[in-house]
């Protein structure tokens, strides 16, 4: 089974993806890149969620068709993800004809199996969230809060999915599968929500109100509710019921991680999605895993276009550089918890752990090799002090595996930082500049210099998923290949003669903005 990572299909109303969306894509990208480094063939899917009322309204405002609107925005997303180094394998856009066909096949199957029915309903409807509201959603004063946007009273005939029929199945599934959601406190929240399932899910919208969606194959007066359509992208683009797909669905599914934010766990991914899969015929052991990350705030406040508390990701890349931005987002957020974006913390992390950390170690090491071995560094056997340093590093690599396998990227990076620190301490205690003055210590000095290079090889390999470009630059200055991250780690044989490349700073210092 290939590791299969999914990051959400981004919403079209997010004309400019902000740091929160960016974080999620980088998170999924780092997990995918880590798996590739471990020698596994990965399938990484992400894309855009194109249908729905919000898109229709936004397009109307601009006086263009919804397709023209979404096409233009897709380009913007693709450009930004490319700039951020997001290494997705397949781009899922929910207007793709293959996806539409899969959605329609699934709906037909569900109808045949008795999971869908038509009924009339009247109630309050949130245009922003595209759903009917119940008393549960009312604030204490009886009104619907600002998160629901414009709320209107509607009476409509619609198609319903028998969500309530899945209630007891979902409750017992969550009981028997405690690792369905990570972190575990989110699974507790989900269990509470599942116990409250009450009523069925409206899965259609009349075309008279919303035409921008996938038509119901058995009732052309209706289009599919946007969430029902969008969630299916996770399987349609992985080849499910999709003859035209090049991917073999059974080699991918169930996916390793659906990387999602906490706001879309309940009800979409935690309730609708497993119930939909269950109704379609997926077995309990075929349910995916949900990796739920926290939210970023900016200066302690919610990131929001409407209040202007947002900053441009393109500008952030220009200002800090891609490595600093990716590193900070991965290093400062504890998986599953909220985090606050602060330029000061970004600069501190970057300077302490990249510029003065691995960057300085690289300069120092290459500098010493050029100085003490201008004629080339010859291979020698490592002394005990060197082997034991490297052994300690390799233990840390195993800890890195454990953290990264558990999606604890901030802790995974900690092991890289520790390797650099141990190596710097090693340099300071061994003092190669003193050994260089002892004529009977030639071999010992060579062994120490080789050990520095090997330490850098190890640390830079661990950095690669988070900072692929900067990592590649380190390897080009080192003149080495990355370490192969297999279960049994083997340090490759050192070249018979090694000439140090020129050290140029990879992580230049950044000035603090006043
Ligand atoms: N279109 C839906 C997803 C459909 S998946 C079948 C959607 N899109 S979104 O653009 O609104 O959000 C995309 C992702 O970004 C979600 O996982 C959401 O949780 C995440 N984030 C939005 N704001 C965020 C922060 N401030 N911080 C971290 N992640 C955030 O939901």
Ligand 1 atom at minimum distance from 12 CA: 10
Query: What is the chain's alpha carbon radius of gyration, rounded to the nearest angstrom?
Result: 27
7 forms beta bridges with 259
For residue 316, count CB atoms less than 10 angstroms from its CB and return exposed for 0-12, middle for 13-18, buried for 19 or more.
buried
Q: Kind and range of the H or E element at 220? A: strand 219-224
| Assigned token pair, 342 | 């602060």
Entry field: residues in the chain: 514
Measured in Å, residue 149 CA sits from the centre of ligand 1 at 17
Measured in Å, residue 21 CA sits from the centre of ligand 1 at 6
* pLDDT confidence of residue 514: 52
* pLDDT confidence of residue 5: 77
pTM of the model: 0.95
Q: Is the CB of 21 under 6 A from ligand 1?
A: yes
| Assigned token pair, 95 | 């207007």
Nearest residue (CA) to ligand 1, atom 18: 261
Measured in Å, residue 415 CA sits from the centre of ligand 1 at 30
Q: What is the DSSP string of 71-114?
A: HHHHHHHHHHHHHTT---SEEEETTSHHHHHHHHHHHHHHHHTT
* pLDDT confidence of residue 274: 98
131 forms beta bridges with 126
Measured in Å, residue 130 CA sits from the centre of ligand 1 at 16
**In angstroms, how far apart are the furthest CA atoms of the chain?**
93
Nearest to 105 by CA among 290, 244, 212: 244
Q: Is the CB of 266 under 6 A from ligand 1?
A: no
* Cα distance between residue 25 and residue 93, in whole Å: 16
* pLDDT confidence of residue 17: 80
Residue 151's CB is within 10 A of a number of other CB atoms, namely: 18
* pLDDT confidence of residue 279: 98
Nearest residue (CA) to ligand 1, atom 12: 10
User: Which of 17, 21, 276, 297 has the most ligand 1 atoms within 8 A of CB, as the residue to mutate?
Assistant: 21
* Cα distance between residue 26 and residue 14, in whole Å: 17
| Assigned token pair, 92 | 């899922």
Nearest to 465 by CA among 40, 181, 91: 40
For tokens 């009247």, name the residue: 122
Residues 117 and 159 sit within 8 Å (Cβ to Cβ) = yes
Residue 91's CB is within 10 A of a number of other CB atoms, namely: 16
Q: Is the CB of 194 under 6 A from ligand 1?
A: no
Measured in Å, residue 315 CA sits from the centre of ligand 1 at 21
pLDDT tens by residue, 309-348: 888 899 999 999 999 999 999 999 999 999 999 999 999 9
Residues 492 and 390 sit within 8 Å (Cβ to Cβ) = no
* pLDDT confidence of residue 14: 57
Measured in Å, residue 302 CA sits from the centre of ligand 1 at 13
The single-letter DSSP state of residue 41 is -
Measured in Å, residue 417 CA sits from the centre of ligand 1 at 30
Q: Is the CB of 46 under 6 A from ligand 1?
A: no
* pLDDT confidence of residue 419: 98
Nearest residue (CA) to ligand 1, atom 16: 261
Percentage, residues of the chain above pLDDT 70: 98
* Cα distance between residue 292 and residue 309, in whole Å: 24
Ligand 1 atom at minimum distance from 49 CA: 1
Q: Say how many CA atoms lie within 13 Å of 175 toward its Cβ.
A: 7
Which pairs from 479-484 meet CB under 8 Å and 24+ separation? 480/453, 482/37, 482/457, 483/397, 483/457, 483/458, 484/39
The single-letter DSSP state of residue 269 is I
Nearest residue (CA) to ligand 1, atom 19: 261
* pLDDT confidence of residue 12: 59
Please list the ranges in the chain whose pLDDT falls under 50. none
Contacting residues for 3 by C-beta, under 8 A, at least 6 apart: 32, 35, 40, 42, 43, 256
Q: Is the CB of 261 under 6 A from ligand 1?
A: yes
Three-state DSSP state, 1: coil
Question: At how many degrees (to 10) do helices 167-176 and 273-280 cross?
Answer: 100
Q: Is the CB of 301 under 6 A from ligand 1?
A: no
């Amino acid at each position: 089974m290939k590791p299969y990572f999914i990051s959400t299909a981004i919403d079209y109303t997010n004309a400019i993806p902000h740091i929160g969306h960016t974080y999620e894509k980088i998170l999924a990208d780092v997990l995918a890149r880590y798996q590739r480094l471990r020698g596994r063939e990965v399938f990484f899917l992400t894309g855009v969620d194109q249908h729905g009322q919000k898109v229709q309204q936004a397009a109307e405002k601009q006086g263009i068709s919804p397709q023209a609107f979404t096409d233009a925005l897709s380009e913007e997303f693709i450009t930004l993800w490319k700039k951020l180094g997001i290494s997705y394998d397949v781009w899922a856009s929910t207007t793709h004809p293959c996806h539409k066909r899969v959605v329609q096949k699934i709906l037909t199957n569900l109808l045949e199996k008795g999971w869908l029915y038509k009924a009339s309903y009247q109630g309050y409807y949130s245009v922003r969230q595209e759903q009917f509201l119940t008393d549960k959603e009312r604030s204490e004063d009886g009104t619907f809060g600002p998160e629901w946007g414009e709320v209107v009273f509607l009476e409509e005939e619609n198609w319903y999915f028998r969500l309530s029929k899945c209630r007891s199945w979902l409750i017992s599934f969550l009981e028997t599968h405690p690792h369905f959601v990570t972190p575990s406190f989110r699974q507790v929240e989900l269990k509470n929500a599942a116990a409250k399932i009450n009523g069925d899910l409206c899965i259609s919208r009349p075309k008279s109100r919303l035409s921008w969606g996938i038509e119901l194959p058995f009732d052309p007066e209706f289009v599919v509710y946007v969430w029902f359509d969008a969630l299916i992208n996770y399987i349609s683009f992985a080849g499910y019921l999709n003859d035209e797909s090049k991917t073999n669905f059974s080699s991918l599914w169930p996916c390793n991680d659906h990387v999602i934010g906490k706001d879309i766990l309940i009800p979409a991914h935690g309730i609708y999605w497993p119930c939909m899969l269950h109704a379609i015929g997926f077995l309990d052991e075929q349910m995916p895993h949900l990796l739920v990350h926290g939210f970023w705030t900016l200066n302690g406040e919610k990131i929001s276009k409407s209040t202007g508390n947002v900053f441009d990701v393109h500008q952030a890349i220009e200002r800090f550089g891609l490595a600093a931005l990716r590193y900070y987002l991965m290093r400062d957020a504890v998986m599953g918890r909220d985090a606050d974006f602060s330029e000061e913390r970004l600069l501190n992390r970057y300077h302490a752990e990249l510029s003065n950390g691995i960057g300085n170690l690289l300069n120092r090491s290459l500098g010493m090799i050029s100085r003490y071995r201008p004629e080339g560094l010859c291979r020698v056997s490592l002394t005990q002090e060197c082997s034991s340093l490297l052994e300690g590093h390799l233990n840390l690599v195993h800890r890195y595996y454990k953290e990264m396998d558990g999606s604890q990227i901030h802790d995974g990076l900690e092991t890289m930082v520790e390797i650099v620190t141990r190596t710097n301490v090693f340099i300071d205690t061994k003092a190669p500049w003193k050994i260089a003055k002892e004529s009977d210590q030639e071999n010992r000095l060579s062994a120490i210099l080789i050990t520095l290079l090997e330490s850098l090889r190890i640390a830079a390999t661990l950095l690669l998923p988070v900072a692929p470009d900067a990592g590649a630059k380190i390897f080009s200055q080192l003149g080495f290949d990355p370490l192969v991250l297999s279960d049994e780690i083997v340090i490759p044989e050192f070249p018979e003669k090694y000439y140090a490349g020129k050290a140029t700073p990879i992580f230049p210092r950044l000035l603090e903005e006043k």
